[in-house]
């Protein structure tokens, strides 16, 4: 099985999770980048409105993979805007999709999972599982903190990988 781990991360937490997932599943790691960095306020505002972040061109084709891992931080109760752009531009037909989310709040971000799932399904993908990792605004998540929850999640889904 070929695994793609694609993510957006502004301050590094989602990136740490993405790196651990990529190691665990021997997946190709691809970072989505904004053309121009944006402020906290603009990020929150545009996210709230569900806008598409202006991202750099990507150098992967989802068609080359069986499983797609998608990672995003929560911004103002929603997924980050670069992920809107990604979801609008990918054809998920026949793909298994795994979603991982980081946020500061301890409450599982179900509305974010549901919103991403609806868009993935509308484009032919199948959501297999979700992972939520709580983070702290003031101290970045360390790889050590990410290893165990990622390993558990990957083990739980090993039959797909």
Ligand X SMILES: Cc1cc2nc3c(=O)[nH]c(=O)nc-3n(C[C@H](O)[C@H](O)[C@H](O)COP(=O)(O)O)c2cc1C
Among 26, 66, 91, 105, binds ligand X (CB under 6 A): 105
Residue recorded with tokens 């991982």: 100
Q: Is 131 in the site for ligand X (CB under 6 A)?
A: no
114 vs 21, 40, 127, 128, CA distance in Å? 21, 24, 10, 12
Euclidean distance between CA atoms 121 and 93, whole angstroms: 9
Q: Is 11 in the site for ligand X (CB under 6 A)?
A: yes
Which range, of 4-12, 62-70, 81-89, 122-130, touches ligand X by CB under 6 A?
Answer: 4-12
Euclidean distance between CA atoms 79 and 115, whole angstroms: 9
Window 41-80: residues binding ligand X (CB under 6 A): 43-44, 73-77
What string of DSSP letters covers 82-94? HHHHHHHH---TT
Cβ proximity to ligand X: between 67 and 103 the closer is: 103
Q: Is 142 in the site for ligand X (CB under 6 A)?
A: no
Among 59, 64, 137, 144, binds ligand X (CB under 6 A): 137
Give me the phi and psi of 54, to 5 degrees please.
Answer: -85, 105
Which range, of 10-18, 62-70, 81-89, 91-99, touches ligand X by CB under 6 A?
Answer: 10-18
- Judge whether 94 and 122 are in contact, CB under 8 Å: no
- Judge whether 79 and 52 are in contact, CB under 8 Å: no
Q: Which two tokens stand for residue 85?
A: 């752009």
Cβ proximity to ligand X: between 14 and 96 the closer is: 14
Among 4, 5, 14, 96, binds ligand X (CB under 6 A): 14
Cβ proximity to ligand X: between 73 and 125 the closer is: 73
Query: Beta partners for 6?
Result: 30, 70
Among 4, 6, 9, 113, binds ligand X (CB under 6 A): 9
Residues that bind ligand X (CB under 6 A): 9-15, 40, 43-44, 73-77, 102-105, 135, 137
């Amino acid at each position: 099985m070929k695994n793609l781990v694609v993510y957006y991360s502004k301050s590094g937490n989602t990136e740490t999770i993405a790196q651990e997932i990529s190691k665990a599943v021997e997946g190709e790691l691809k970072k989505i980048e904004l053309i121009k960095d944006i402020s906290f306020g603009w990020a929150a505002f545009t996210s709230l409105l569900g806008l598409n972040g202006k991202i750099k061109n990507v150098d992967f084709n989802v068609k080359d993979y069986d499983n797609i891992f998608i990672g995003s931080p929560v911004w103002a109760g929603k997924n980050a805007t670069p992920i809107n752009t990604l979801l609008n531009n990918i054809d998920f037909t026949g793909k298994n999709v795994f979603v991982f989310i980081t946020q500061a709040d301890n409450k599982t971000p179900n509305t974010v999972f549901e919103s991403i799932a609806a868009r993935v399904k509308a484009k032919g993908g199948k959501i297999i599982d979700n992972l939520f990792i709580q983070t702290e605004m003031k101290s970045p998540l360390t790889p050590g903190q990410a290893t165990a929850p990622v390993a558990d999640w990957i083990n739980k889904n090993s039959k797909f990988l």
